[in-house]
Amino acid sequence: MAQLTLDEVTKTFQDDDGEIIAVDEVSVDIEDGEFLCVVGPSGCGKSTTLRMIAGLEDITRGEIRLDGQIINDQPPARRNVAMVFQSYALYPHMTVRENMAFGLEESTDMPDDEINERVEQACKDMGIFELIDRKPGELSGGQQQRVALGRAIVRDPEVFLMDEPLANLDAKLKAEMRTELQELQQDLDVTTVYVTHDQTEAMTMSDRIAILNDGVLQQCATPLECYHEPNNLFVAGFIGEPSMNFFPTTLEGSTLKGEWFEYELSDETVAAVEGTTDITLGIRPEDIEFVQSDTGSNVFDSTVHVVEPRGNENTAHLQFDESMDEQFIATVGGMKQLKSGQRVKVRFPENAIHLFDTASGEAIRNRTLDEIETVESVV
């Protein structure tokens, strides 16, 4: 195991227009055995960050430390990290055995019998021992991915680096491999940095998520913290599917006035947003309540525009008014029927709303979290 530290790591590139900042002073401490997912939109700097850790990209400024030792200038072969690529990067003319042994043969003085023992054990661990003498062209996508993972395992690295390793798999196989990767990482207890654009992977697999946008670290926290306590509008909108709904408003007294509704705030919430006038109200689709009457505060009439049945739930696209350009989304249990064109009443519970400074995008007040219940173990 190893502790990996990024300290104000920056990467710039030069083009005809000058300097491009791909990664901007990213700092994060990754603990021994931690599984950290790095997520963000395309071009945000996540793969560049991974390549700098691996030694495949030079660092412009800052430090990368492995167990306290600066490794900025160490070549990739000396860093004792293993990288798994999206493309698998298997040699087509080599067998599974030869692909997995190649790195050790080229970069170490390890005896052939020890290399072979490691390769065979890794194949057994990955469930591909019966494929050990086949070539990549004879394997499915999932089997090739297992070979790529096995090749990383045989190196016995201090850190696993994974760059969208499941991107080329179909949905069913991707779900299976997510579970396998989690179990593998837990069994090996190896510090892992996993880059993905798929927030489902990040939410389900990681101990913490580092969210990048335009090369800047927006938040690094547990999946639940990123989901329920986002630092800003970007994190709130990026994490979660369907995405959080946002409504620009202006605070007048204790009322948030938007284009389509007026929202009454409690004295406690008014105190929390004191000093901010332009406020964006956010609410997640699952927190919107369908109600039968106007009883209670912050109940609004709306029209169902489109319904997407998903089996366990229905996703409803709603409009406050037909002239409204954008729709907002609410989810409801799959056994409740909604129809396009239906008029409904919805409530935005105050304990479920998020409030953001519209100008800066920073969170002012996140939703109130009920006490998280722990499932009791059965003896």
Selected residue with higher pLDDT from 249 and 126: 249
Q: Please give the average per-residue pLDDT across 195-201, as a whole number.
A: 91
Check whether 258 has a pLDDT greater than 60.
Answer: yes
Residues with Cβ within 8 Å of 379's Cβ and at least 6 positions away in sequence, in order, are none
What six digits make up the tokens of 44? Answer: 């945000």
Q: How high is the pLDDT of residue 96?
A: 95
Amino acid identity of residue 11, one-letter, is K
Check whether 379 has a pLDDT greater than 90.
Answer: no
State pLDDT tens for residues 315-359. Answer: 999 999 877 778 999 999 877 788 999 999 999 999 999 999 999
State pLDDT tens for residues 70-88. Answer: 999 999 988 989 999 888 8
Check whether 371 has a pLDDT greater than 60.
Answer: no
Q: Please give the average per-residue pLDDT across 6-18, as a whole number.
A: 92
Instruction: Report percent pLDDT > 70 for the chain.
Output: 97
pLDDT tier, 378 (very low <50, low <70, confident <90, very high otherwise):
low
Check whether 369 has a pLDDT greater than 80.
Answer: no
Pick the CATH number of 4-234 from 3.40.50.2300, 3.40.50.300, 3.20.20.80, 3.40.50.970: 3.40.50.300
Q: How high is the pLDDT of residue 1?
A: 63
**Residue 283 CA, distance from chain mean position:** 20
Domain with CATH 2.40.50.140 in the chain: 243-365
Strands in 255-258's sheet, in edge-to-edge order, are: 262-264, 255-258, 245-252, 278-283, 354-357, 363-365
Q: Please give the average per-residue pLDDT across 33-56, as a whole number.
A: 96
Check whether 181 has a pLDDT greater than 60.
Answer: yes
Task: Give the C-alpha separation, 327 to 320, whole Å.
Answer: 8
Q: Please give the average per-residue pLDDT across 216-232, as a whole number.
A: 97
Q: How high is the pLDDT of residue 311?
A: 87
Q: Please give the average per-residue pLDDT across 172-188, as a whole number.
A: 88
Domain 243-365 has CATH 3.30.1220.10: no
Helix (H) or strand (E) holding 346: strand 343-347
Mean pLDDT score across all residues of the chain = 92
Q: What letters, b where the CB count within 10 A reaches 16 and e where it falls short, cover 80-98?
A: ebbbbbbebebeeeebbbb
Smallest CA-to-CA distance from 282 within 358, 172, 170 is with 358
pLDDT tier, 177 (very low <50, low <70, confident <90, very high otherwise):
confident
Q: How high is the pLDDT of residue 142?
A: 86
Q: What number of CA atoms fall less than 13 Å from residue 108's CA on the CB side?
A: 16
Domain with CATH 3.40.50.300 in the chain: 4-234
Q: Which of 16-25, 97-106, 248-257 has the highest mean pLDDT?
A: 248-257
Residues with Cβ within 8 Å of 127's Cβ and at least 6 positions away in sequence, in order, are 146
